[in-house]
Structure 1
Amino acid sequence: MSEPVSDPMGSSPSPQPDLGRDRLPTLFEVLSRRTLPPVDLFSFYIYMRDQQRSVDYLDFWLDVAQHMSLCRHYVRELRRSVLVGTPELDKGSKRSSAILEGLGDMHHPAAGPSMYATEKERGVDAQLSSFLREERADNHDSPQSSNDRRDRPSPNVGSARDVTTDSNSPAHTVARNDIRASAEKILYTYLMPNAEREITLPGSITADVTTAIEEFGRDDPEVFDVAKDYVFQAMERDAFPGFLRMKALGNLIPPTLIMRLILGLVSMFGGFWAAFILIFLNESRRTRLWLVLPFTVGVYCLASYQYSLDPILALFGASEYTPFNFSRVREAYVRRMLARRALTVLAVTVLIDAALCVLFILVPGKRL
Structure 2
Amino acid sequence: MDYSISEIAKIIGADSLLPAPDSKISRLLTDSRSLTYPSDTLFFALETSSGDGHRYVKSLYDRGVRSFVVSGSFSCPDGLQDANVLYVESPLVALQTLAANHRRRYDVPLIAITGSRGKTTVKEWLNQLLQADIEIVRSPRSYNSQIGVPLSVWQLDEDTALGIFEAGISQPGEMARLREILKPEIGVFTNIGPAHSAGFESIEQKCQEKALLLDGCRSIIYNADDPLISGCVKTAPEMIGWSRTNSEAPLYVCDVARGNGRTEFRYIYIGGQSAVLEIPFEGEHELENAIHCLAVMLLLGINQETIRQRMASLTLVGTRLEVIEGVNGCLLVHDNYTSDFN
Q: Same fold (TM over 0.5)?
A: no
Q: Which has the higher strand share?
A: 2
Higher relative CO (CA 8 A, sep ≥ 6), structure 1 or 2?
Answer: 1
| TM-score, L = length of structure 2 | 0.22
Q: Greater Rg, structure 1 or structure 2? A: 1
Q: Which has the higher helix share?
A: 1
| TM-score, L = length of structure 1 | 0.21
